[in-house]
């Protein structure tokens, strides 16, 4: 198939059929802890999209152009997480200098991103599945978008039920987990769609 369609097929799969949160269960902590409101979830999701879109290809370059030629693949975990931490730190500094509004809506989430398993997980999968650079761009962008989609859906549901009375002990984490379970069940339905790659 032509390269544009192939890129899009992988992108589509990364958002839906292989959603990094609901299929590979990565990025749960902020998903469950910080998803009460749509506004904050949007900020968090946008930050994840931004960081994942750039760090995954950057890690590809580091892995295939530096670690592999030197035979240092076993250090990839440390190198990846360092790049992610450095990148988020850098972006936070830049945003802080450039725009107060942007910092208020996006910048405060950046420290949380470093420990988001989804970001590191995306890089690890990129290596395990031997993606090309082009495929990595599709996967990084799609993965982040998929994560944002999931957290927005979760926030929407939680906002809806915010005024409802829940059994004692179920507020907060409890109900979020049940919602997540139902969403995960729904997303397993996507596995029937075979992607042409």
Partner 1 sequence: MKTAARRLFLENLGANNPVFAQVLGICSTLAVTNRVRNTVVMSLGVIFTLTAANLIVSLLRRHIPARVRMMSEVLIIATFVLLFDILLRAFSPEISRQLGPYVGLIITNCIIMGRAEAFALSHPPGLSVLDGLSSGLGYAYVLLLIATIREILGAGTFMEMRVLGEGWMPWTLLAMAPGAFFVLALLVWILKGWVLARPAVEGSPS
Partner 2 sequence: MTPLRQSSFRDRLAPVLFVSVLSALFMAVVSAAHLITRPVVERNRTRYLQRAVLEAAGWTVPASPSQMEALFESRARLASEAPDAPFAVVQDPAGRDDRLVFLETGRGLWGPIQAAVAFSSLDGALAGIAFVAHNETPGLGARIEEPTFRRQFIGKRPPLALSSSASTGSSNPSEMDGLTGATITSQGVRDLINRAAQRVRPAIQSATPTAPEMLLDR
191 in contact with partner 2 (CB under 8 A): yes
d(CA 111, CA 137): 23
User: In the set 66, 93, 102, 129, which binds partner 2 (CB under 8 A)?
Assistant: 129
Chain centre to alpha carbon of residue 181: 18
Instruction: Fill in the per-residue mask, 13 to 42: x = in contact with partner 2 (CB under 8 A), - = not in contact.
Output: -----x----xx------------------
Least separation in angstroms between CB 2 and partner 1: 32
Tokens standing for residue 170: 């179920």
- Cα of first residue to Cα of last residue in the chain, in angstroms, is 9
Given partner 1, partner 2, none, residue 170, with its beta carbon under 5 to 8 Å by kind, binds: partner 1
Tokens standing for residue 35: 């998803």
- 135 in Cβ contact with 47 (< 8 Å): no
Binding residues for partner 1, per CB under 8 A? Answer: 22, 25-29, 32-33, 74-75, 77-78, 81-82, 85-86, 89, 111, 114-117, 119-121, 124-125, 128, 167-170, 172-178, 180-182, 184-185, 188
User: In the set 3, 70, 74, 162, which binds partner 2 (CB under 8 A)?
Assistant: 74
128 in contact with partner 2 (CB under 8 A): yes
Burial of 166 (0-12, 13-18, 19+ CB in 10 A): exposed
132 in contact with partner 2 (CB under 8 A): no
Total H helices, total E strands in the chain? 10, 0
């Amino acid at each position: 198939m032509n390269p544009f369609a192939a890129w899009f097929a992988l992108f589509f799969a990364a958002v839906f059929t292989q959603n990094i949160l609901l299929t590979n269960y990565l990025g749960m902590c902020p998903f469950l802890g910080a998803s009460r409101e749509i506004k904050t979830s949007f900020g968090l999701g946008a930050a994840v999209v931004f960081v994942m879109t750039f760090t995954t290809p950057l890690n590809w370059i580091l892995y295939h152009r530096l670690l592999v030629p030197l035979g240092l693949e076993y250090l990839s975990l440390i190198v990846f997480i360092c790049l992610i931490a450095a990148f988020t730190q850098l972006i936070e500094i830049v945003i802080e200098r450039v725009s107060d509004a942007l910092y208020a809506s996006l910048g405060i989430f950046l420290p949380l991103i470093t420990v988001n398993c989804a970001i590191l997980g995306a890089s690890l999968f990129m290596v395990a599945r031997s993606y090309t650079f082009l495929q990595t761009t599709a996967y990084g962008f799609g993965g982040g978008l998929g994560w944002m989609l999931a957290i927005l859906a979760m926030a929407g549901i939680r906002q809806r039920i915010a005024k409802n009375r829940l059994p004692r002990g179920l507020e907060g984490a409890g109900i979020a987990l049940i919602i997540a379970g139902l969403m995960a069940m729904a997303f397993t339905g996507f596995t029937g769609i075979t992607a042409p790659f």
